[in-house]
């Protein structure tokens, strides 16, 4: 692995984060005109839960209502310039998303020694970042996003597995995805209101990519995600005295941490 490869990956990551910025910030909550109460979204037999879903609208400045385009959110420049129409500072999720995607891609390529196997995981970075930041903004993950990410990811996994002469790894990827989905489906069913179904769908995507490395890796991803979620929960209590927070970002980051630590984890398992 060369420095040139890492620089190229950083450029690709920067461009990918830039391309995601406006679409991610176009998602808004579509809900009744009342303050959102996540705890009440479970509903009862007498009063069904309100219909709340992610709707794709325009990304507008809250002050002057300028409609943002890609040229308005150029990495680094836009962080300091703000809205090109009124100068209002951009949402903190704009630089956070762009930095996260670039850094995550570099860490992914570096942790996989610059091998071709990193290509499917770069797709995982893009999809998980999009889902995580939408969830962070509106506490919802568009229903189609994990399925589309998993479909494209499965094609990449199959192609790479066959090219590497390890078609059996495809089975472990499917087992990882289905097992993770069923586990979170059970949690969602047994503890309504504690977990969104978007997290259940997301776990199929994450479990599939982690299972492709090793059948036990979905457990590591869930462990790291739980620890990150615990930290987010404590931060939520300190900042706004709340106890609820979107779990999707923690799950996505936990899965990526497992990918980045693949060599130490495999070594500890006596495999690498």
Query: What per-residue confidence (pLDDT) applies to 215?
Result: 94
Query: What per-residue confidence (pLDDT) applies to 241?
Result: 58
Can you list the alpha helix ranges (DSSP code H) found in the chain? 3-25, 77-81, 93-111, 118-138, 144-163, 168-190, 197-213, 217-240, 248-260, 262-268
Query: What per-residue confidence (pLDDT) applies to 48?
Result: 57
- Contact status, residue 151 vs residue 162, Cβ threshold 8 Å: no
Query: What per-residue confidence (pLDDT) applies to 239?
Result: 75
Query: What per-residue confidence (pLDDT) applies to 41?
Result: 53
- How do beta strands 27-30 and 53-56 pair? antiparallel
Give the integer Cα–Cα distance in Å for 122 and 29. 28
Given a cut of 70, the residues of the chain with pLDDT beneath it are 1, 30-53, 240-244, 272
Query: What per-residue confidence (pLDDT) applies to 250?
Result: 96
Over residues 139-195, the pLDDT tens digits come to 899 999 999 999 999 999 999 999 999 999 999 999 999 999 999 999 999 987 778
Domains of the chain by residue range:
3-268
74: region left, alpha or beta (phi > 0 left; psi from -120 to 50 alpha): beta
Give the integer Cα–Cα distance in Å for 42 and 47. 10
Query: What per-residue confidence (pLDDT) applies to 9?
Result: 97
Query: What per-residue confidence (pLDDT) applies to 32?
Result: 45
Q: Helix or strand or coil: residue 44?
A: coil
165: region left, alpha or beta (phi > 0 left; psi from -120 to 50 alpha): left
Query: What per-residue confidence (pLDDT) applies to 163?
Result: 95
Query: What per-residue confidence (pLDDT) applies to 270?
Result: 80
């Amino acid at each position: 692995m060369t420095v040139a490869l890492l620089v190229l990956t950083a450029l690709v990551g920067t461009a990918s984060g830039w391309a995601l910025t406006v679409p991610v910030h176009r998602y808004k909550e579509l809900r009744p005109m009342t303050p959102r109460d996540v705890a009440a979204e479970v509903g009862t037999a007498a009063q069904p839960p309100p219909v709340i879903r992610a709707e794709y609208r325009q990304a507008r400045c809250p002050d002057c209502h300028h409609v943002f385009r890609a040229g308005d959110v150029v990495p680094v420049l836009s962080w300091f310039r703000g809205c090109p129409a009124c100068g209002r500072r951009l949402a903190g999720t704009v630089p956070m998303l762009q930095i996260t995607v670039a850094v995550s891609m570099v860490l992914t390529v570096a942790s996989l020694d610059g091998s071709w196997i990193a290509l499917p995981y770069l797709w995982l970075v893009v999809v998980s970042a999009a889902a995580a930041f939408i969830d962070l903004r509106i506490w919802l993950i568009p229903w189609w996003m994990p399925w589309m990410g998993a479909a494209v990811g499965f094609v990449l996994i199959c192609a790479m597995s066959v090219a590497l002469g390890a078609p059996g790894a495809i089975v472990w990827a499917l087992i990882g995805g289905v097992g993770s989905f069923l586990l979170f489906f059970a949690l969602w069913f047994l503890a309504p209101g504690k977990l969104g179904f978007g997290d259940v769908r997301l776990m199929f995507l994450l479990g599939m990519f982690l299972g492709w490395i090793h059948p036990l890796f979905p457990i590591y991803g869930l462990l790291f995600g739980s620890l990150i979620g615990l930290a987010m929960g404590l931060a939520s209590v300190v900042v706004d005295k709340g106890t609820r927070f979107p779990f999707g970002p923690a799950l996505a980051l936990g899965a990526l941490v497992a990918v980045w630590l693949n060599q130490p984890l495999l070594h500890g398992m006596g495999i690498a």
